[in-house]
Amino acid sequence: MKLAFAHVMCTIDVMNNSDFPRTERSGTGELSHGRPPQTEFTTGLDYPRLGSVTFRRGTLTDNQEALFDEHWPRLGRLLDDAPVNIDEWFGRTGHPTIVEIGSGTGTSTAAMAPLEAETNIVAVELYKPGLAKLLGAVVRNDIDNVRMIRGDGVEVLARMFEPESLDGVRIFFPDPWPKARHHKRRIIQSGTLNLIATRLKPSGVLHVATDHADYAEWIDELVDVEPMLEFKGWPWPEAPLLTDRQVITKFEGKGLDKDHVIREYLWAKN
């Protein structure tokens, strides 16, 4: 794998897109079909590129849809170009904030959130059924410190969070895109690591977990590529945020059933 990243920039220049797609039912978390908006980064690094996305309708039960419609306006947002006002959204100030990219059905999110009640958790997921399950768990269990954004994780970080605004970023079991021609879609890339580093506060933590051996080898080659991130390995007892995922997620369980080895990675922002 080619690693030609000697001149890594410390900032991200994002090209604003005045044609950012809007939807009529934004209050219920609907996204436009087709190719999602993609930021034109100017760092010269590698970023995951998305193809067209088609969203299946009718995948929520009536109860899930009603719950979603009732609570999404308070708990959720769609990807857009408006930066998140964290204190306003969570209704409190001075609390650390973690973004979880690719929260899936929210199993880990809902399990960890009560153990870090003083931390703001923003779960980012593209598919509405997963967000609906997490929203249901949040409402049923009266979890106050979780909010949700529907959209691609890289775009959410680039467009909706200010530099040095986050205390942590989590990426648990990202899609491994196992075919070689699809490796460019993997979220762990030199550019993504740079983007995450710009969004983390000093001493902020990036936590990645995968059960895919080839993806782990891919990450192994990138652990030191971003100069703003110091690789801490695993475990890191002095980590300033919770690193115990508490529960086995659906994808993790499938991997364990196949005797996959779980690999975890921790970095700290210099």
Domain residue ranges of the chain, discontinuous segments joined by +: 64-252+261-269
**Is 152 annotated as belonging to a binding site?**
yes
When computed from its CA atoms, the radius of gyration of the chain, rounded to whole angstroms, is 18
**Is 175 annotated as belonging to a binding site?**
yes
Q: Which of 167, 175, 220, 259 is catalytic?
A: 175
Neighbouring CB atoms inside 10 A of 158's CB total 23
Q: What pLDDT, in 10s, does the model give residues 189-218?
A: 999 999 999 999 999 999 999 999 999 999
Among residues 193, 210, 205, 212, the alpha carbon closest in space to that of 153 is found at: 193
**64-252+261-269 homologous superfamily:** Vaccinia Virus protein VP39 (3.40.50.150)
**Is 251 annotated as belonging to a binding site?**
yes
State the residue for tokens 């690999």.
Answer: 263
**Is 211 annotated as belonging to a binding site?**
yes
Q: What pLDDT, in 10s, does the model give residues 159-184?
A: 999 999 999 999 999 999 999 999 99
Among residues 263, 253, 259, 211, the alpha carbon closest in space to that of 233 is found at: 263
* Residue 175 annotated in active site: yes
Token pair belonging to 170: 């989590």
Stretches where the chain sits below pLDDT 70 are 1-27, 34-36, 51-58, 247-259
